[in-house]
Structure 1
């Protein structure tokens, strides 16, 4: 498992929590920040997934 996969998934979870808290407390700013963090985490995790697949394909 690549570092990007782990940090991306953590960022995704952190963003989801922040987004939910923002919705609950009525903070549009916090909600948007959470969405941005969540999407950035998804992108980082996807990059790690891709790197992992490439590494496995090269080893074959």
Structure 2
């Protein structure tokens, strides 16, 4: 199980079967330019693999342009 915290909503989601950050973004209906994906304090790119037991933070990028 992969636990995902979506910020700024502070929503907690759990996913059983995700292999990559790109799959996570697709599930959340986000583009890679719309959010920062963080695992253990490190930013992850869309091609990085996710593993069972990961705790991921998804910080949505908000533009006030």
TM-score range, shorter chain: under 0.3
**TM-score for the superposition, normalised by structure 1:** 0.24
Q: Considering only CA atoms, is the larger Rg found in Structure 1 or Structure 2?
A: 1
Specify which structure has the higher proportion of helix.
1
**TM-score for the superposition, normalised by structure 2:** 0.23
Specify which structure has the higher proportion of strand.
2
